[in-house]
Structure 1
Amino acid sequence: MYEYLEGVITLIMPNYIVVDVNGIGYKVYSPTPFAYEQGKKAKVYIEQKFSDNTGLTLYGFESEDAKGLFLKLLSVSGIGPKSALAIMAAEDSKSLAEAIEQGEVKYLTRFPGVGKKTASQIVLDLKGKLGDYVQRLDQEHNEEVSPALNDALLALIALGYTKKEVNKITPKLEQADADSADEYIKYGLSLLLKK
């Protein structure tokens, strides 16, 4: 069993990458192949699956957490590796995990190959099991943003907006020319009230 591959990304395609490890090119299916840079060294966390039709297939992820989310999706009845990859490719991992944690069946039906029955099964099997994952992603993101912006994001949630609503406007807030939490809050409220 491989845990990860560390090597140079020699090819990036819409649904896979090729990782050269000491002269051997590994074809690795990924939900986010364009997150890698061709010609650059990368560490890709690997999950192997074997089937009679395709033989040994490698699936790769940018982090152990993303690999963990993939494995959790695979544990859901009716979801195979291709479906799990398609779901992860269609949405950032944090929004996906939050939707599952909040039981948003309708939101999950927008993913390729996920009908109402499968979406309900995902929520039934995984709700309550992704809280740590969401918390780690929040913590990583909070370390990347300024303290003033972080305070503003927490304030907007305290005002009653959902994490999902606040996450949608965060990129715009990050680009704003604000000096204090108050300025971020005012701008954030103006964005949220437009919707």
Structure 2
Amino acid sequence: MREDSLTLFGFGGDDERALFEQVQTVSGVGPRLALAMLAVHDPAQLSSAIATGNVTALTKVPGIGKKGAERIVLELRDKVVPVGTGETKATPEVPAATTPGDSQVAEALVGLGWSAKQADDAVAKVAKLPEADSATTPVLLRLALRELGR
């Protein structure tokens, strides 16, 4: 969601959606490039290419050059899980959402256009605040938006 457009993305399965979100955590990869990656490769091929460091397969995607492909492999090699296992590896430096409110806030931030990593970072910072202990989801969302606005 941006000032000038509302964009809705649809996926054939949970694997595609999970990979779409995970690929966007790499700097320089936005929703359009992530969709292009899924258009060229199916989720199994894409996760395999990232996990094995197959830069050639990644450069077949329009908009990804050799350096971009190397950056994607470097940042995601240890985080990509084989498709179909139903699990994703969390980044070690970002704690997972601990309450249902935290995950709802993170999902809302992603829906508003921030990357999953930015949303998780903001939720983690907000969770450490003293006023977050007894806060409701809307209050947590407001605090996270304030954090992202800095």
Report deviation, 1:52.
Answer: 2.7
Separation in 1 of the partners of 2:37 and 2:28? 13
Checking the alignment, whether the CA contact within 8 Å between 2:58 and 2:69 is kept in structure 1 is yes
> Which of residues 12, 16, 19 is equivalent to 1:69?
19
Q: Distance in 2 between matches of 1:82 and 1:134?
A: 21
Looking at structure 2, the residues matched to 59 and 67 of structure 1 have their Cα atoms a distance apart, in angstroms, of 9
Task: Specify the code of the residue in structure 1 equivalent to 2:2.
Answer: S
Query: TM-score under structure 2 normalisation?
Result: 0.53
**1:120 alignment counterpart:** 70
- 1:136 matched to 2:136: no
CA distance in 1, matches of 2:10, 2:38: 12
Q: Which residue of 2 is the match for residue 102 of structure 1? A: 52
What is the percentage of aligned positions where both structures have the same residue?
A: 43
Note if contact 2:55-2:73 (Cα within 8 Å) is conserved in structure 1.
Answer: yes
Deviations 1:114-168 (A, max 9, x none): 001110111011102122x33528xxxxxxxxxxxxxxxxxxxxxxxxxxxxxxx
Q: Give 5+ residue unaligned stretches, structure 1.
A: 1-49, 138-195
Give the TM-score, by structure 1 length: 0.41
Equivalents in 2 of 1:52, 1:75: separation in Å?
22
Structure 1 residues 135 and 63, CA, compared in 2 at 3 Å: closer, same or farther? closer
The SS at the match of 2:10 is strand
Give the structure, 1 or 2, with the largest relative contact order (CA under 8 Å, sep 6 or more): 2
Residues 2-21 of structure 1 aligned to structure 2 (within 5 Å): none
Give the root-mean-square deviation of aligned CA atoms.
Answer: 1.6
- Structure with greater proportional helix content: 2
Query: Is the counterpart of residue 52 in structure 1 residue 30 in structure 2?
Result: no
1:89 counterpart (39, 52, 69): 39
Count of matched residue pairs? 86
Q: Which has the higher strand share?
A: 1
Distance across 1 between alignment mates of 2:70 and 2:2: 27
* Greater gyration radius: 1
- Whole-angstrom distance in 2 between the partners of 1:118 and 1:90: 16
Structure 2: any 5+ residue segments left out of the alignment? 87-150
Q: Aligned partner of 1:52: which letter?
A: E
1:97 CA drift (Å): 0.6
